[in-house]
Amino acid sequence: MFWAENTLYIFYFIISEIVLFPLIYIKVMITVGYLADWKRLLPLIVFWAVFGPFVCVFNLMKDLFFYVKILCDY
């Protein structure tokens, strides 16, 4: 029964992270825009536009790993 509940928690965790992807993507793009100087603004924005979704998926997998690790400890 314990892992039946955990699969539901894991599914909910993945869905909630996927729902947050567009907000995170836009927020990081705005932050990059504020922190970059004028010479490096366009390359950094293009870099994030291309590789940002991969970074979000990588972070999802990393967060999911630690979440499952925490669930295994209880």
Most distant pair of Cα atoms in the chain: their distance: 57
Stretch (H or E) spanning 19: helix 2-35
pTM for the structure as a whole: 0.81
Identity at 29, one-letter amino acid code = M
Reported as a single tens digit per residue, the pLDDT across 4-59 is 888 999 999 999 999 999 999 999 999 998 998 888 899 999 999 999 999 999 99
- Contact 33/45 with Cβ under 8 angstroms? yes
Query: Which residue ranges make up each domain of the chain?
Result: 2-73
